[in-house]
Amino acid sequence: MATRHEIKCIKKTNRQSAHERIEEIGGKNAAGTSWRLTQQQAIFGIEEGKWSFYVNQGGNVIDVIVAISALGNKYIKTRNDGEQPNNLLSLPECL
């Protein structure tokens, strides 16, 4: 069974671009220590059933899923909840 983790921060390839890509995600584990994964590691973990991820926006828990772009590239995003921009892209920068 997949372990569930809250994503609290992201690292983008270009914060100023309207077409930025997520490079890394991060959060804290139950012991309070920080963790970080590349987007590719997160995708692999989701697809293998090792991890599931979510974001918490104002008390709303939104699942993170693997999506495929028009060019066939895999990426992670939150399930559609009507918010723009994507909840994942609006998280703070990982330090």
pLDDT per residue of the chain (95 residues) written in tens, 0 to 9: 889 999 999 998 865 555 568 899 999 988 889 999 999 999 999 999 999 999 998 888 999 999 998 889 899 999 875 555 678 888 999 98
Q: pLDDT tens for residues 63-74? A: 999 999 888 989
Are 11 and 60 in contact, with CB atoms under 8 Å apart? no
Peptide bond into 92 cis (omega under 30): no
CA atoms of 22 and 76, how far apart (whole Å): 8
Q: Supply the pTM of this predicted model.
A: 0.86
Burial of 53 (0-12, 13-18, 19+ CB in 10 A): buried
- End-to-end Cα, the chain, rounded Å: 30
Report domain extents, the chain. Answer: 3-78
